[in-house]
Structure formats: structure tokens, C-alpha cells
Amino acid sequence: MEFIHFAFYFGLLLFLILVINKAYKIATSPVHLRWELYPVAHEKGKAKYGGSYLEDFEWWVKPRERDLLNEIWTMFQEIVFLKGVWEHNRPLWFGSFPFHYALYLYIVTTLLAWVGLIFDWSSSLNPALQSNLFDTLLNVLLWIVSILGIVGAIILLLKRIFDENLRLYSNPSHYFNILLIGSLYVTSFIWLTSSDNAIGEFLGFYRGVFTFSSVGNLPVIGYIHFYLLSFFLFYLPFTHMTHFFTKYFTYHKVRWDDEPNFPDSEIRKKLLEQLNFPVQWSAPHIAADGRKTWLVIASSPLPTKEDNNG
């Protein structure tokens, strides 16, 4: 076993622990301030025009109908095609789509490589196999990943540098994130162009990961690539790039959460509990002192201008 393996194990393990921990904290956090903006994707027959079950006569006595298929389709379009970016910032989409799609394909390629190692599909590592169709597939995928990713990274970087609107909302981490992920694409591209057996070396690394053995004849660019990947796995949970899973909560707990507040409902129980939370807002119109609860403040008269000045 080599140090590169420890780096990969550490990055992957920390990634899993921190992502699961963050997802748990968000899932168990207090009820978010819901946007109540329509359309809501799960509204059956009404989502297409932004309608709601609240339109129905005596809706509170009728069973709610949800359109799970439309909800899944809406999520699919957003995740796979970045529909929101296409509709609201199309020039950015031409960089964001190849950048993200390359990352999706890289994940697919890696998972496919793992499955291939389990079932011994690679002729690069098993000379007894006559067909190299599996290796060819991985090679094609990595070429697509490298080219799409580099193009996307360049466009995104230039957009953040030269687009004034984007530049105003960009901080050093945005540029660093693009460069870090872009470096994965660049190193894979250099690896493919400089080695006649890049796929065999790629698979050899993961075989070493699974069997705790040597990485074999891994070239320098291969070491650089996997050290960058290990750092990326370690680094990602500390950044806003966790939107790859927090976006689920944004949609389902903020944008699309229209669950009615019925007596004895779960949401009613949660809200009643939250009314007893102390308020620490500093805004004078709230008149919070860190001890008063939301219930006390909501049931008290609004402070006057004289109260605030006094």
C-alpha cells in the first residue's frame, strides 16, 4: 500500500462522514421559513399554471392529490440539464452545463471502473480476456470528461472575470473551486495524451485501493490527478459545492413545502415548539432581548418609535 492510497481513503472517508452529518443536521433542523411561491411541482393538474390546492372549494376536507411523476421530472430537468440556469442565465449555461456534465460523467466512469474491477472486465489487467470493449468505453468516457470539463472550466472562469454582474458576487473560493475541478480535467487530459495505457493505469490505481496493494506503473501525472481528487473529496464538504445534495432540501423544504398547518399535524407540533425559541434578532422593531420567545413577541404590541429611542 502506498501513501496515495491513504490520501484517497482519508479524503473519501471524510467526505462521506461530513456530507452525511450535514444532511442529517439539515433534515432535523427547525421548520424553514417557507417561500410559498408557485408553481409547486407536485400540485396535480395545477403546476403548469402555478395553481394550488387552496383554489379548491373546502380544500381542507378533501384528500390531497400529488403528482410525483411531475416532481421527479422537474428535478430531473434541473439536475441533468440545469434548466434553471438555461432559463435565467443562458450565457452562463454554456459553461456551467459542460462543467457539471463532465463531473457527472467522471463519477459514472469511476463507478463503472469499480464495477469492472469487481467482475474483472478489463483486458488491461487481465490479459486472458480477448475483448477490450470495456477499456475502450472507459477511454471514450474519460476523453469526453476531459474535453467537456476543460471547456466548461474556461468559460466559467472567463465569465466570472469579465462579467461584471458575476464578478460582484464572486469571491476567491469561486475561482479556486473552478480551478481545482478544472485541474482534474486537465490532468486526465494530459494523462490520456501522454500514456498508451492510461485506462490500465487508472484501473490499476483503484485495484490497489480495493486490494491494499501497489498502484503499479502509475505515471507522475496519474499521482497528481489522484492527489487532486483526494484533496477535492476532503475539501468539498466545507464549501458551497454541497449544493449537490442541499438543493434537495431547498426545493422540498422551502420552495415546494406547502403542507397545511392542521391541528394535531406534525408541522403544527414543530411550529408550536419553535414558538418557544428565544429571539436574538437585533432589529429594533422586533424588541428582542435574547430571552423573549417568538410567542411572547408575536403576542405583544409592536414597539413604538419612542420605545426604540428610549
Domain CATH number, residue 186: 1.20.950.20
Instruction: Single out the residue in 238, 264, 294 at which a domain terminates.
Output: 238
Q: What digits encode the pLDDT tens for the residues 178-192?
A: 999 999 999 999 999
Instruction: Single out the residue in 209, 238, 267 at which a domain terminates.
Output: 238
Range of the domain at 304: 275-309
Contact by Cβ (8 Å): 167, 204: no
- The region of weakest confidence among 148-162, 221-235, 261-275 is 261-275
Return the closest-CA partner of residue 176 out of 232, 101, 97, 243: 232
Q: What digits encode the pLDDT tens for the residues 231-251?
A: 999 999 999 999 999 999 999
Question: Binning pLDDT at 50, 70 and 90, where does residue 130 land?
Answer: low
Shared domain check, 300 and 160: no
On whether residue 9 sits in a domain, the answer given is yes
The reported pTM is 0.88
Shared domain check, 293 and 153: no
Name the DSSP class of 290. S
Shared domain check, 234 and 107: yes
CA angle 98, 84, 95 (to 5 degrees): 25
Instruction: State yes or no: pLDDT of 71 exceeds 70.
Output: yes
Shared domain check, 153 and 15: yes
Question: Binning pLDDT at 50, 70 and 90, where does residue 67 land?
Answer: very high
On whether residue 207 sits in a domain, the answer given is yes
Shared domain check, 149 and 27: yes
CA distances from 50 to 45, 47, 260 (A): 10, 5, 17
On whether residue 205 sits in a domain, the answer given is yes
Q: What's the domain count of the chain?
A: 2
Mean pLDDT of 263-283: 89
Instruction: Single out the residue in 238, 261, 289 at which a domain terminates.
Output: 238
Evaluated on CA atoms 286, 287, 289, 294, the torsion sign reads negative
